[in-house]
Structure 1
Amino acid sequence: MERENKKMIDSYLSFRLGDEIFALHVGKVQKILEMRDVTEVPRAPDYMKGVINLRGKVLPVIDLRIKFGMQPAGWTKTTCILVVEAEVENEMVVVGLLVDAVQAVQKVKQDEILPPPSIGSKFRSDFISGMTRVNEKFFMVLNIDLVISSDDLINIKEIQDAKEAFEKES
């Protein structure tokens, strides 16, 4: 499906980090993976948990709790990895996002998304494209393109380059 067609979809995947509920546009989510072993990468930022092998490709995994300044938590049977596509500096990257649990896919019309709060939020509001209410619960709708920054892109490229160099030497 082309990017323009994906934007027309009014569905959002909700997920939990601690007591907070977030949502991502389904057009950005490629798949949901059960938790698996993550290979740590030396000298990576704290929120970069490491990499996993996804069909022969290296997939960097970011812990959203740490990225958002929340306390790290142990993995449970509901912990999973969202494989998402983000556009950073006109380049498409695929990364894994470590989340506490996936909730559901919700239909949300664009006019039901309210502007993000300007003060009092413990999260950087530039990540949040809006807030919406579903079944009496507020969801923070994330702009994944802004969650994944250009610094992350540099780290992801370094990880991929290191793996490719290692494979050539083997």
Structure 2
Amino acid sequence: MPRLDTPTDGALELISFEIAGQEFCIDIRSVREIRGWTPTTRMPHTPPYVLGVINLRGLVMPVIDLRRRLGLGETEASSRHVFVVVQHQDRVIGLMVDAVQETFLVDTALLQTPPDMDCEPGATFVDAIIPLEGRMLSRLIVAALLPAHERLAA
């Protein structure tokens, strides 16, 4: 199924990235920037998937190990990793991924509802599966990735 080369009313612009050998994507409108990996400062009493915080031009921003958040194992952070800085409402957070792949336009008609996997309540991170050029991308819900206390505050 071909990608779209020009935006239309039924198109979404997405950015894809790799985590643990799998492809995921999010809406490009939630991405503020992509930055290289930098060490984080750990914070006490945070969930295990929160790596810590970094200073982003004067803004103290939490960073999440997205692999761990999605239940795909723990990342051994290194300089090859990338932070995708996303914004949801007034919250800015870094998502550590293995690699950013591409931005692309996709027709909304290609989005398919993910199958019911009997997940525990509140653990739904994927709202669509996109079969694209022989690949399967899972579209993530940015708001669902935030730690629970941050989602309530947002």
Q: TM-score under structure 2 normalisation?
A: 0.83
How far off is 1:119 after superposition? 2.4
Amino acid at match of 2:14: Y
Sort the Cα spacing of 1:42 and 1:8 in 2 relative to 1 into closer, same or farther, 3 A.
farther
- Relative to total residues, which structure has the larger helix share, 1 or 2? 1
Q: Which has the higher strand share?
A: 2
Which whole-Å CA distance do the structure 2 matches of 1:55 and 1:126 have between them?
A: 32
Q: What is the one-letter code of the residue matched to 1:22?
A: F
Residue 82 of structure 1 is aligned with which of 77, 81, 84? Answer: 84
Q: How does 1:64-143 map to 2 (within 5 A)?
A: 64-87=66-89, 92-119=90-117, 126-143=124-141
* 1:4-33 CA-partner distances (Å, limit 9, x unpaired): xxx986211001110211000000111001
Secondary structure of the residue that 1:73 maps to in structure 2? Answer: coil
Rounded Cα–Cα distance in structure 1 between residues aligned with 2:80 and 2:10: 30
1:56 is matched with which residue: 52, 58, 73? 58
Identity %: 27
CA distance in 1, matches of 2:85, 2:77: 17
Structure 1 gap ranges (5+):
1-6, 158-170
Q: TM-score, normalised by structure 1?
A: 0.76
The runs of at least 4 aligned residues of structure 1 exceeding 6 Å deviation read none
Structure 2 unaligned blocks of 5 or more: 1-8
Between stretches 24-33 and 108-117, larger displacement belongs to: 108-117
Q: Which has the higher contact order (CA 8 A, sep 6+)?
A: 2
Q: Is the 8 A contact 1:15 1:22 kept in 2?
A: yes
Deviation (angstroms), 1:86: 1.6
Deviations 1:88-133, CA, capped at 9 Å, x for gaps? xxxx311001111111112111111111121288xx8721110002
Q: Write the mapping of 1:25-44 to structure 2, written as runs, cut at 5 A.
A: 25-44=27-46
User: After superposition, what is the alpha-carbon deviation per residue over 1:40-76, rounded to whole angstroms, capped at 9, x for unaligned?
Assistant: 1122111110000001110110111111112112234
